[in-house]
Amino acid sequence: MDDSPQDEQGWPPPNSTTRPWRSAPPSPPPGTRHTALGPGSASLLSLQTELLLDLVAKAQSHRLEEQRATFHAPQSPPSLPPALPRPLEDKEQLYSTILSHQCQRMEAQRSEPPLPPGGQELLELLLRIQGGGRMEEQRSQPPTHIC
């Protein structure tokens, strides 16, 4: 009989040098396990299971190696001309372009304020009293909006 220590399921202790992992017990405990194939077949199944797992692990590692890509870095990076800093004029030109476009948008959205009620009649009355010519002489053009 084997005198190596085993737990209640027949497993060797984890720090045992017999088997570093607990995939399956090395052999069934004496007199406890009999399969349809006979008393020694459990050990054979354990060995076959272990061999199958080893085969699967090897196949997967080979498959990973086949899929691995190699990267060859160039010895010297391609030489690029040093980038010249943009002059301040470009930034100022961009700022003025943005500002003028925003100003044009504001002007396009502007609308005339409505006249107060009766305002139109008041203007017509003033025109009749002061005469049409005098009012036209005093008119000035409104300034154009420049931002």
- The CA-atom distances, in angstroms, between 60 and each of 6, 35, 56, 63 are 33, 32, 6, 5
Report yes or no on whether pTM surpasses 0.85: no
pLDDT under 50 in the chain at which residues? Answer: 1, 20
pLDDT of residue 97: 92
pLDDT of residue 98: 92
Q: What pLDDT does residue 126 have?
A: 82
Per-domain residue ranges of the chain: 7-63
Rounded CA separation 106/129 (Å): 38
